[in-house]
Structure 1
């Protein structure tokens, strides 16, 4: 089984490629565990993975340039490169960059959508839902609580989250401890809690195509 870096490393530094395999996936660090779990379960040993820092989730202006750099740096070492990002707040710029570079990315606005399935997610049209994945439940303080200053000024919570009604936890794994952690996050935000066991959604579908294409 692949040894995984801890969440802090994935958040701040990402993950370096092993330098082997024929196919490289360039991904957000928040997807590392899911991608490696799918690779191991399906014995896709020819897939290699490199991740950008997951904290770019909070700084989408950094994503396009970093993806470009990763593709340029690794292109000569792999037969194919694929991008495990949705639009992720880049306003279409990542899609345009991928088209220019001739690399395929995952369709959809963000991981919340492709974990649930883009079609199903779009049909819900949930404007009052705040989403967490497995990774973001574990890293709630690093991605939500501290960046918004709620560790210093908890009284600002309702200003930030007053228009939300429900925290939706999209569970990639059936882990009771993570469910309890996500419930705690909902309580901290003063939101109702809903859990959806999404599994890997469209990420798995794309990886199957990348591995066998």
Structure 2
């Protein structure tokens, strides 16, 4: 399996996704924002029974479209794979993604979003950090594409306080120990006018989700 850091680009994962990658009979359908993390877990744990495919990460800008996109992926591959694991949280679908998975017999990670399962869902919920804005490794790299530009802050920076005035902290949930990403996350906090917190999470509950299913 190739090194995801050298052969998979954020731009492709954001806009196109990733075709099935691997020879296993269980297909992991993940958000493009999780491709590197899922591949790392597969490599570290020798999970040769898993194949990964990713939907475009940009679907997060229209979460209502995620359930149908996941359903389309399952239907497209149901003759090739025996089992389906869905590496998405609810991600703003209002329970519709879980209902889709239940109907099609796919297993979905139990979490509201990737921030929760990276941080550990139970402790994330217990913290109740309603005034915190979160970044992952992927979002630290893709901050402009997913935050700054969609909110129009590239054209109207004065809107920043309207969008983020109720936030106090930017919490960077780091999957890797990367000095460049840490620096980028700090810059993101400065741009949003928020206090910065660095929390090293690794892959959190995503590891158990993938390794506990053979």
TM over 0.5: same fold? yes
Is the contact between residue 47 and residue 211 of structure 2 (CA under 8 Å) also seen in structure 1?
no
- Say whether residues 1:40 and 2:40 are aligned partners: no
TM-score (norm 2): 0.96
The residue that corresponds to 1:11 in the other structure is 14
Which whole-Å deviations, capped at 9, do the CAs of 1:61-108 have from their partners, x for residues lacking one? 110000000000111101211100010000000111111111110001
Q: Which residues of structure 1 form unaligned runs of 5+?
A: none
- Say whether residues 1:197 and 2:200 are aligned partners: yes
The residue that corresponds to 1:209 in the other structure is 212
77, 80, 85: which one pairs with 2:83? 80
Which whole-Å deviations, capped at 9, do the CAs of 1:140-187 have from their partners, x for residues lacking one? 000000000111111111111000000000000111111111000000
Is the contact between residue 22 and residue 50 of structure 2 (CA under 8 Å) also seen in structure 1?
no
154, 158, 163: which one pairs with 2:161? 158
- Say whether residues 1:128 and 2:127 are aligned partners: no
Which ranges of 4 or more aligned residues in structure 1 deviate by more than 6 Å?
A: none
Is the contact between residue 2 and residue 40 of structure 1 (CA under 8 Å) also seen in structure 2?
no
Give the distance between the partners of 1:42 and 1:19, measured in 2 at CA: 14
The residue that corresponds to 1:2 in the other structure is 2
- Say whether residues 1:20 and 2:23 are aligned partners: yes
User: What do you get for the CA RMSD once the two structures are aligned?
Assistant: 1.0
Q: Which residues of structure 2 form unaligned runs of 5+?
A: none
The residue that corresponds to 1:171 in the other structure is 174
| Structure 1 residue 58, shift from structure 2 partner | 1.5
Q: How many residues align?
A: 211
Give the distance between the partners of 1:113 and 1:141, measured in 2 at CA: 22
Give the distance between the partners of 1:89 and 1:40, measured in 2 at CA: 30
| Structure 1 residue 20, shift from structure 2 partner | 2.5
TM-score (norm 1): 0.97
